[in-house]
Chain A
Amino acid sequence: MRTWRRLVLFLAAFAVSFSATAAWAGIVKDGKKTMNNHVDGAAANVKGNSFNPRNGQCVLYSVTTTSETSHVHVETGVERCDSSTLDECDSGHLFAERWGGGSIYHCNQGGTFSNGTAYYGSSFRNTSTSTTVTGSIGSASIPQSGFGLSDTVTGRTWAEATGGSACPTSNPDGHFGHWDRYLYGTGWITVSDPWSYHTGGPGEAYGPCWTVGPSNSNGGYDVY
């Protein structure tokens, strides 16, 4: 009887695993998340040294502020795509993206950027009592409402591949420097206790794509 149950469980697990692999083009996100969930915002110097997206794919390095409760986020960073766009923003630009839950995404396209140069990306509540978080990088900005004042809000930094079903070619790499979280009443605080994590959701079909390096004293680390 026990053997029979094991077989059923194995077959069920196999079916789920296979269908996920077959169905998802997917997104891979490899990076770090603030362990402290009391965050009014986050900021980092974001540097993409190389991107190497596959055809139809975008590769991003970005910093986010995310409400785990209300499922909204603001993301700012650098992106390059091959024969594709990110939310209809063009390849090779700084970007500020907002996600209001569900499957609606909006982006504002910043200026062009250079590989190997750091750009300061940030996102935080407009005021201590605001439920809107505004993200900025370079000269682009984007606000997103819905960040409840009692929500669990975290900061993230990550390398991301979106589109296709394989990691980017040739191990692209990036760097996050001076990663800080913001608290009203306290100020900017170096993220010193992050969790490393490797994606979630559909990207698990083919990730991880990046190795997440150790943090240094200013919260910075490499992805490669």
Chain B
Amino acid sequence: MSTNSLRTRPSRKSARVLVLGTVLGATTGIAGLAVADISGDDPWVPPPGAAEAVGTPDQLSAQRDEAGPGLNANDAVAQTLRNLGDASVISANIFQPTAEEGAIPESGPWLNIRIDSNQGDSIRPVWLGQLVQGAVADEMRTDEATTSDVLDGAQVVDTDESGKSVTIPLGHGAVVGGQEFNSPSDALLTDRVQKVADKFGIKVSSVEVLHPLDSALAATFVVSDGKVDWTITQLTNAIEGSPSDIEGLYVELVSPSGDPLLQASRALRIPGGGLWFADGQDDRFGANHG
């Protein structure tokens, strides 16, 4: 498996380009020559002067396994889909992506995940894809440092509202592999959602407990009209616990008449997040975005 640091730093190529650039600059005598990549065909080679720091992957769970089970890809996929508990996820398979699909030099394998939701590039199908991506990576893992050292990315193939096929590349974040979430029983997690709803003064519309590897929650809440004195961050924190007891969370807020107000998702084996909001609901629930 490739390492993350290599993906954005094809160092051999970078050095070669730097030398070529220097030679050309000296030969032509052009002071301050701005063109750094002589071939011009490989943006994955960073320009001269690119910073080297890459950050430190987090651990978001209470415990972690140093070594993973090392299942083969087929077994890891079969186990994840069998346990997941969401019928809209149909299948998954490992593949080697092309450059057009987003593969970079020395890229590792991706996971192709077929979902039948008719929701296209929206919060829930992407979240489901991330849950599967993270669980399969940790099932395949032996001693890789991060989940993205095992799977370099993934894509969700879904349909949109019109039935048209949509392919959504997911990418990845940086988090340690082998996270073990406390994963209380389904009954305790369902009870926790109800207690949080009571505390926040909202009503539980539905709760699902999924099991990509440990446990994940999907919950829909009905929120009364008017101002609220809490934020979506406070709500998700209260459900997850600290450190998080679950590997993923999808929260949907709806109005008393059932209109969707806000959707928020977290997938902690990637880690990745998603946010959708109806007009003005980001401010109402303190949901920040770029």
* Contacts from A to B (Cβ < 8 Å): 23-26, 40-41, 43, 45, 56-58, 60, 62, 75, 81, 83-90, 93-94, 96-97, 99-100, 103-114, 117-120, 122, 124-130, 132, 134, 136-143, 145, 160, 162-163, 177-178, 180, 182-190, 192, 217-218
Contact = CB atoms under 8 A, between A and B. Distances in A.
11 contacts: A43-B50, A88-B264, A94-B55, A105-B289, A108-B272, A112-B58, A114-B53, A126-B102, A138-B8, A177-B51, A189-B35
B171 A24 contact: no
B290 A160 contact: yes
Main SS class of interface, B: loop
A139 B40 contact: no
Given A127-B100, A217-B32, A108 B37 contact: no
Given A96-B173, A107-B290, 19 more contacts: A23-B280, A57-B288, A81-B288, A86-B290, A93-B55, A104-B274, A104-B275, A106-B274, A109-B270, A112-B55, A119-B55, A138-B53, A139-B54, A141-B8, A160-B290, A162-B290, A180-B36, A187-B39, A190-B34
Nearest to A158: B290
Contacts of A132: 100-102, 169
B21 to A, nearest CB: 9
B202 to A, nearest CB: 18
Main SS class of interface, A: strand
Interface in B148-164: 148, 153
Interface in B253-290: 264-266, 270-280, 282-283, 286, 288-290
Given A56-B231, A139-B146, A162-B288, A87 B57 contact: no
Contact of B102 (A43, A100, A143): A143
Interface of B: 4-5, 7-8, 32, 34-41, 43, 46-58, 60, 99-104, 121-123, 126, 146, 148, 153, 168-175, 231, 233-234, 236, 264-266, 270-280, 282-283, 286, 288-290
Contact of A127 (B36, B99, B121, B274): B99
Name which of B5, B273, B288 has the most chain A CB atoms within 10 A of its CB: B288
A126 B169 CA distance: 12
Contacts of A83: 231, 233-234
Contacts of B55: 93-94, 110-113, 119, 137-139
A110 B273 CA distance: 12
